[in-house]
Amino acid sequence: SVHSSWLHGSAAPPLPQAKFFPPVEGVMLPTGSFKDRVAFITGGGTGLGRAMTTTLSQLGAQCVIASRKLDVLQKTAEEISSQTGNKVHVVQLDVRDPEAVSRCVDQVESLTGLPDVIINNAAGNFVCPSERLSPNAWKSITDIVLNGTAFVTLELGKRLIQSQRGASFLAITTIYAESGSGFVVPSASAKAGVEALYKSLASEWGRYGHRFNIIQPGPIRTKGAFSRLDPTGEFEKAMIGRIPTGRLGTPAEISNLAAYMSSDYATWMSGAVIRFDGGEYVSMAGEFNELRRVTPDQWNIIGMMTRSTKGS
Amino acid sequence: SVHSSWLHGSAAPPLPQAKFFPPVEGVMLPTGSFKDRVAFITGGGTGLGRAMTTTLSQLGAQCVIASRKLDVLQKTAEEISSQTGNKVHVVQLDVRDPEAVSRCVDQVESLTGLPDVIINNAAGNFVCPSERLSPNAWKSITDIVLNGTAFVTLELGKRLIQSQRGASFLAITTIYAESGSGFVVPSASAKAGVEALYKSLASEWGRYGHRFNIIQPGPIRTKGAFSRLDPTGEFEKAMIGRIPTGRLGTPAEISNLAAYMSSDYATWMSGAVIRFDGGEYVSMAGEFNELRRVTPDQWNIIGMMTRSTKGS
Amino acid sequence: SVHSSWLHGSAAPPLPQAKFFPPVEGVMLPTGSFKDRVAFITGGGTGLGRAMTTTLSQLGAQCVIASRKLDVLQKTAEEISSQTGNKVHVVQLDVRDPEAVSRCVDQVESLTGLPDVIINNAAGNFVCPSERLSPNAWKSITDIVLNGTAFVTLELGKRLIQSQRGASFLAITTIYAESGSGFVVPSASAKAGVEALYKSLASEWGRYGHRFNIIQPGPIRTKGAFSRLDPTGEFEKAMIGRIPTGRLGTPAEISNLAAYMSSDYATWMSGAVIRFDGGEYVSMAGEFNELRRVTPDQWNIIGMMTRSTKGS
Amino acid sequence: SVHSSWLHGSAAPPLPQAKFFPPVEGVMLPTGSFKDRVAFITGGGTGLGRAMTTTLSQLGAQCVIASRKLDVLQKTAEEISSQTGNKVHVVQLDVRDPEAVSRCVDQVESLTGLPDVIINNAAGNFVCPSERLSPNAWKSITDIVLNGTAFVTLELGKRLIQSQRGASFLAITTIYAESGSGFVVPSASAKAGVEALYKSLASEWGRYGHRFNIIQPGPIRTKGAFSRLDPTGEFEKAMIGRIPTGRLGTPAEISNLAAYMSSDYATWMSGAVIRFDGGEYVSMAGEFNELRRVTPDQWNIIGMMTRSTKGS
Ligand SMILES: NC(=O)c1ccc[n+]([C@@H]2O[C@H](COP(=O)([O-])OP(=O)(O)OC[C@H]3O[C@@H](n4cnc5c(N)ncnc54)[C@H](OP(=O)(O)O)[C@@H]3O)[C@@H](O)[C@H]2O)c1
Ligand SMILES: NC(=O)c1ccc[n+]([C@@H]2O[C@H](COP(=O)([O-])OP(=O)(O)OC[C@H]3O[C@@H](n4cnc5c(N)ncnc54)[C@H](OP(=O)(O)O)[C@@H]3O)[C@@H](O)[C@H]2O)c1
Ligand SMILES: NC(=O)c1ccc[n+]([C@@H]2O[C@H](COP(=O)([O-])OP(=O)(O)OC[C@H]3O[C@@H](n4cnc5c(N)ncnc54)[C@H](OP(=O)(O)O)[C@@H]3O)[C@@H](O)[C@H]2O)c1
Ligand SMILES: NC(=O)c1ccc[n+]([C@@H]2O[C@H](COP(=O)([O-])OP(=O)(O)OC[C@H]3O[C@@H](n4cnc5c(N)ncnc54)[C@H](OP(=O)(O)O)[C@@H]3O)[C@@H](O)[C@H]2O)c1
């Protein structure tokens, strides 16, 4: 258990049922679905952001990726565009700084024009007991996740409105945004804030041609998330053990979902919150799900016991 | 674990923190809060229904309790009214039968007049893998829980509307009504249906002077619930282990909440769903809550690991 | 308003912003995505069920559609398979009858073998003040929607488990399943029950290779839904007026979503509930959304008023 | 409508059904329920905070109220303690400043010792189209509501843990925290963040003897809220028109609820979110609730129309 072996973690194997749920790595949407479209992805240099950028680029989009580490962005941009043949631009950006956000959007305007697709994916997170959180630790997360997302969204939104341009906005949150979770409390709070922001703007800015949707991912192995959230590797085993589909998700899978939600096939989708987690959330939350450990023979006995009780 | 010792279960002790959360057994509302009021409680002969009836009776209500077992009802009624000095009436009723419901309300009208307070508490449930459920097993639960609640609520509602009488309706559901849960699927579905029924009528029948609210209890030991849901006693330990307040709830606690919600102090409460579970639901649902098992020393090491990662 | 002109309704025009949200009618998934797959769709003869069947058939699935009206099913089956070149089978079925469900699955087994894709789409509904609902009216809806879905799902699930076969289950519910709604109360309750059923089985039956997901559609014009829910045509205008994307959805759009969710691209999706409603739900639910009626000039004045108050 | 008459608003009358839902102004809990307890209330000088402080003080608590305006706090403190006979302390505090929060808790410790009851009630809000929000306007709200609540909660929590003291934490959020809402977007986001914070800590800090709960109030007339959210008074009429109980809430009502949730009667309540809004939320959110405008005669005709359709 976590207690004894947490220091010697390693990638955990999938459960037997995972054979029924093989991940598909190929791109789902028709070729050219994002032709003549511009996509702007925060945190597009790594992990899920990189994967979503790759998919949009394969589908014909001109992409702009933005985050703090310019070298990482550049390397990613080159790799993706050499693979897809479509241009990937980079802009250095710390989303916490509203003036930097404004300058970044200036740059985007001159590089590609305003985007048609916006994905707010940049985030920070780490595991920590809440009694050890300083005010600065709290703000280090909420400033990126909540304020950063708001600054990017409001700045782009205003300029799109000014230009009478429609757009699709997507935010990547997490399955614990709704339930909350101990030990990742700044992230839980900030992601919940992002969800309210997107649901609110879905209502308010539809009239300007904007739609706003959310993906709540379950665990998908990326260097960023797993090094900060499961540094010992031990937690992964526990997660897989309770995921009904018996495995982690893959970056390609979430990218296909994100591309769909950002595409013209989903122009009627707004204000939606899509949990994409292999079933982990419902599996954790349901009070009697632990009974999956009971064996068929034990169920036979329990059946007899409860039937006799019912008759009492 | 459930696996090895499930046959030899026994009442599990509370967690250490339970000392901070002692249950109060006394009645909360002012004496006479339900004077001149009539309360109708289904399943009022046993368990939580009996406890809520006792509290309302202590507060001055004339109560009517209804369920299938007349002898159980009569014994309860006598015990309560000898304790409180207020009359408790009994009506035999199988809530699955709409004609029986109509006759029951006739009886109530002649015994006490139409009720001011209605508590839909009757229910059935048992644990069972869903692949073992026959259509009849499915219906045995949904007929009581969903159709039964609907028949009682619609019949009383119609007559109250006819008589231009206001009323407070309360339904007792469960914490897994929203999330669903394996192994109690007919109950989860039927209770979710009850919640939608009550939220819907809160909207629709406010204009007739009716309010509708819901309590979702977590685990409270009653003979009925625990014999059918945890016949081996093993599951209780697991539940307590994940309840933040470290103990089961008590019938007196839920009775005080139910009395408050049914009282004039809560005339502005309608369409509310109150989870009352010692924190169990959020504790199960939050993805990282298992980290409560990590020790302070381990956190020190994790802190160093994630800090060094952040700098990368 | 509904009051004065409800008798002379007619199809309402979209809002201006709908130009930003044009529906795509083409099929989204790659050709052959459902090759060698069998799909079973209840209520597949009409409306949304027919549209989803058409899309799956175009993508290579062998489909079986089932409902009460054999002639309607047959006409649909012929039209679809002549269009797509893939076989569409029909089975007469009243989902309320568990024995008929069992016989239906026998037939499916001999026609096509057990299905890989199951869509529970059959439903009944009508608008009615709840005080006018008889017990039979209540049951006429819940028997189809909740019990019918349960019977179909449990019967197919058991046989798939027996055969160690994986499958994707999808249920079509509605945006008011969570909030409830007056005037469609049996439907709201039964659909909420279906959602709990599907979330529960997502947890429980993952181990058998099954996944369970839900679409909550907003208003999509079909003869079935609109004739029973908006017989006067008046309500449509009000709905469109509050839909942020400014128009109704189309059968093709929900079919692309349903096909995605049922496909191998979504093998990691389970226990998900996808609201697909043009933003209607968040728009109705948000307390201040009515302020969309305030004009820019009025906002200028309000801005001055609240600023001066803040300084007080 | 809002359009034409928004400048000439005035307090709107209740709906007829409000006669069934009269507010009770008296204190609900038994005298002395908070004897020897210390309660800390942010924003306790005005509005709902003042009302909750009054109730706790009447029930025997020693209260400490904290906000920016020392004069307002002092006036309130004197008025309450002269009414109740129990001491009310004041501490000047801007919750946005973590060092000020730390100094404030120092003061509380020396004045009364650490509190047993904490109510996070301080907030800011104003109505504004989101495209008019500057980054500073955004932060002016989220800094108070989300960061302020976090700073107060974390600081008090840490010290209570250090001292091995239990406590009850309550946060006042809003009914649009879950759904989001246009025109109050920073508030919606920040309040959603507060809810996640409280649900998370309910899970995590139960082991330290702390419980965390939330009230989501609907509209209750206070100078603060109504001057900033409905400066023209016009919106009030629309709100009352859709509240099933037909009236606004009162400060006394929410105070009785808050006192209950903070009392020993509710030691088993943690992680709960109580909507207290007269039914407004479910009434707005339910798709068909607008049909309340249909008259009985019109229903007769609709009934005939839908029945004939069903037979088709
Ligand atoms: N992987 C999972 O299992 C999982 C689960 C749930 C949710 N998510 C969410 O998925 C998203 C992507 O996560 P990931 O797993 O791909 O991790 P990741 O690789 O660490 O991605 C985070 C990205 O955010 C960027 N970023 C961080 N701070 C920034 C700032 N101040 N300004 C601009 N950009 C900043 C980072 O780039 P720089 O360092 O260059 O700034 C990085 O590219 C996140 O929103 C995360 O919360 C992931
Ligand atoms: N205890 C818990 O931990 C817990 C947790 C969550 C929810 N709940 C809910 O709390 C409520 C009370 O449960 P409990 O724990 O007090 O169990 P209980 O003692 O078994 O109560 C169930 C009651 O329902 C009555 N009932 C059953 N079928 C009926 C029918 N067809 N017609 C009329 N009455 C019927 C029973 O009386 P007869 O046999 O005489 O008909 C019995 O009095 C239930 O709604 C339950 O779902 C309890
Ligand atoms: N259209 C919308 O705006 C909308 C919005 C929200 C949700 N939905 C949902 O979408 C689904 C499809 O609705 P729709 O708009 O396409 O309406 P529809 O054309 O009336 O579809 C209902 C289907 O259910 C079948 N059905 C009804 N009772 C049955 C029974 N006892 N046994 C077997 N099949 C039965 C009907 O076929 P037979 O008459 O041949 O039995 C019919 O094909 C429904 O679940 C509905 O609740 C629709
Ligand atoms: N009334 C309603 O209808 C309603 C509805 C939903 C939710 N609520 C919530 O109920 C709570 C109370 O609202 P209310 O209606 O009573 O309005 P209110 O009288 O304006 O209360 C807000 C309080 O917050 C304090 N505050 C503001 N900024 C602060 C800061 N930076 N540091 C410390 N204290 C600060 C204010 O005091 P100072 O100015 O002295 O700092 C004031 O006492 C709020 O959380 C509000 O969101 C109210």
Per-residue model confidence as pLDDT tens digits over A143-172: 999 999 999 999 999 999 999 999 999 999
Out of B146, B185, B199, whose CB is closest to C200?
A: B185
What is residue C12's predicted lDDT score, i.e. its pLDDT? Answer: 86
Q: Does residue C180 sit in helix, strand or coil?
A: coil
Using pLDDT thresholds of 50, 70 and 90, give the confidence band for residue C233.
confident
The CA distance from D6 to D8, in Å, is 6
Q: Is the pLDDT of residue D274 over 70?
A: yes
Sheet with strand B167-172: strands edge to edge: B88-92, B62-67, B38-42, B117-120, B167-172, B210-217, B273-276
Chain C residue closest in CA terms to B160: C131
Whose alpha carbon is nearest atom 32 of ligand 1? A94
Q: Is the pLDDT of residue D8 over 60?
A: no
Q: Is the pLDDT of residue D228 over 90?
A: no
What is residue D208's predicted lDDT score, i.e. its pLDDT? Answer: 98
Using pLDDT thresholds of 50, 70 and 90, give the confidence band for residue B12.
confident
What is residue C117's predicted lDDT score, i.e. its pLDDT? Answer: 99
Q: Is the pLDDT of residue A141 over 50?
A: yes
- A280, B289: Cβ pair inside 8 Å? no
Q: Is the pLDDT of residue B312 over 90?
A: no
Q: Which of the two residues, D259 and B223, has the higher pLDDT score?
A: D259
Work out the mean pLDDT of chain B and round it to a whole number: 94
For strands C88-92 and C62-67, give the pairing: parallel
What is residue B1's predicted lDDT score, i.e. its pLDDT? Answer: 34
- Predicted TM-score of the model (pTM): 0.97
Q: Is the pLDDT of residue D234 over 70?
A: yes
Sheet with strand C38-42: strands edge to edge: C88-92, C62-67, C38-42, C117-120, C167-172, C210-217, C273-276
Determine the average pLDDT of the residues in C169-195: 98
Using pLDDT thresholds of 50, 70 and 90, give the confidence band for residue D3.
very low
- A284, B282: Cβ pair inside 8 Å? no
Q: Is the pLDDT of residue D311 over 50?
A: no
| Chain B residues near residue D205 by CB distance under 8 angstroms | 244
H-type alpha helices, chain C: 2-5, 47-58, 70-84, 98-112, 135-142, 149-162, 176-179, 185-204, 223-229, 234-242, 251-262, 280-285, 296-310
Determine the average pLDDT of the residues in A66-92: 98
Q: Which of the two residues, B184 and D231, has the higher pLDDT score?
A: B184
What is residue D227's predicted lDDT score, i.e. its pLDDT? Answer: 84
Angle CA(C143)–CA(B186)–CA(B194) in degrees, nearest 5?
Answer: 70
Q: Is the pLDDT of residue A103 over 80?
A: yes
The CA distance from D205 to A199, in Å, is 30
Percentage of chain C exceeding pLDDT 70: 95
Question: What are the structure tokens assigned to D40, written together?
Answer: 């800390």
| Chain B residues near residue D270 by CB distance under 8 angstroms | 244-245, 278-279, 282
Q: Please say whether the beta carbons of B187 and B130 come within 8 A.
A: no
The answer to whether the CB of C42 is under 6 A from ligand 3 is: yes
* D183 close contact with A: CB closer than 8 A: yes
What is residue D309's predicted lDDT score, i.e. its pLDDT? Answer: 57
Determine the average pLDDT of the residues in C210-219: 98
- B196, C191: Cβ pair inside 8 Å? yes
Backbone angles phi, psi at B174, to 5 degrees: -165, 160
pLDDT digits (tens, 9 = 90+) for C51-76: 999 999 999 999 999 999 999 999 99
* B242 close contact with D: CB closer than 8 A: no
What is residue A231's predicted lDDT score, i.e. its pLDDT? Answer: 80
Nearest-CA distance B185 → chain C (Å): 6
The answer to whether the CB of C69 is under 6 A from ligand 3 is: yes
Q: Please say whether the beta carbons of A179 and A163 come within 8 A.
A: no
Q: How far is CA D306 from CA B94, C132, C172, C232, D291, in A?
A: 32, 14, 22, 10, 15
The answer to whether the CB of C47 is under 6 A from ligand 3 is: yes
The least confident of A122-136, A294-308, B122-136 is: A294-308
Using pLDDT thresholds of 50, 70 and 90, give the confidence band for residue A306.
confident
Work out the mean pLDDT of chain C and round it to a whole number: 94
Whether this model's ipTM surpasses 0.90 comes out as yes
Q: What is the DSSP letter of B119?
A: E
Kindly give the distance from the C-alpha atom of residue C237 to the centroid of ligand 3, in angstroms, as a whole number: 22
The CA distance from A15 to B145, in Å, is 36
Q: Please say whether the beta carbons of D27 and D55 come within 8 A.
A: yes
Determine the average pLDDT of the residues in B177-200: 98
The least confident of B4-18, C276-290, D244-258 is: B4-18
Percentage of chain D exceeding pLDDT 70: 95
The answer to whether the CB of C194 is under 6 A from ligand 3 is: no
Question: How far, rounded to the nearest angstrom, does the alpha carbon of residue C104 sit from its chain's CA centroid?
Answer: 22
- B287, A175: Cβ pair inside 8 Å? yes
**DSSP secondary structure string, B64-104?**
EEEES-HHHHHHHHHHHHHHHSS-EEEEE--TT-HHHHHHH
- B contact test, residue of D221, D261, D270 with most B CBs within 10 A: D270
Q: Is the pLDDT of residue C235 over 90?
A: no
Work out the mean pLDDT of chain D and round it to a whole number: 94
What is residue D235's predicted lDDT score, i.e. its pLDDT? Answer: 87
- D286, C6: Cβ pair inside 8 Å? no
Whose alpha carbon is nearest atom 33 of ligand 2? B67
The CA distance from A131 to D155, in Å, is 8
Catalytic residues of D: 176
- Give all strands (DSSP E) within chain B, no chain letters: 38-42, 62-67, 88-92, 117-120, 167-172, 210-217, 273-276
The least confident of A44-58, C12-26, D219-233 is: D219-233
* B63 close contact with C: CB closer than 8 A: no
Percentage of chain D exceeding pLDDT 90: 88
Nearest-CA distance D191 → chain A (Å): 7
The answer to whether the CB of D217 is under 6 A from ligand 4 is: yes
Q: Please say whether the beta carbons of C53 and C39 come within 8 A.
A: yes
Determine the average pLDDT of the residues in B155-161: 98
Question: What are the structure tokens assigned to C101, written together?
Answer: 């469900």
What is residue A308's predicted lDDT score, i.e. its pLDDT? Answer: 66
Kindly give the distance from the C-alpha atom of residue D124 to the centroid of ligand 4, in angstroms, as a whole number: 6
Determine the average pLDDT of the residues in C195-203: 98
B209-230 as b/e, with b when 16 or more CB fall inside 10 Å? Answer: bbbbbbbbbbbbebebbbbbbb
Q: Is the pLDDT of residue B239 over 50?
A: yes
Nearest-CA distance A59 → chain B (Å): 32
pLDDT digits (tens, 9 = 90+) for A172-228: 999 999 999 999 999 999 999 999 999 999 999 999 999 999 999 999 999 988 888
Determine the average pLDDT of the residues in B275-299: 96
Percentage of chain B exceeding pLDDT 90: 88
What is residue A5's predicted lDDT score, i.e. its pLDDT? Answer: 39
Q: Is the pLDDT of residue B308 over 70?
A: no
What is residue C10's predicted lDDT score, i.e. its pLDDT? Answer: 54
Q: Is the pLDDT of residue C221 over 90?
A: yes
Q: How far is CA D246 from CA D48, D237, D293, in A?
A: 20, 10, 15
pLDDT digits (tens, 9 = 90+) for B38-67: 999 999 999 999 999 999 999 999 999 999
Sheet with strand D62-67: strands edge to edge: D88-92, D62-67, D38-42, D117-120, D167-172, D210-217, D273-276
What is residue C62's predicted lDDT score, i.e. its pLDDT? Answer: 98
Q: Is the pLDDT of residue A31 over 90?
A: yes
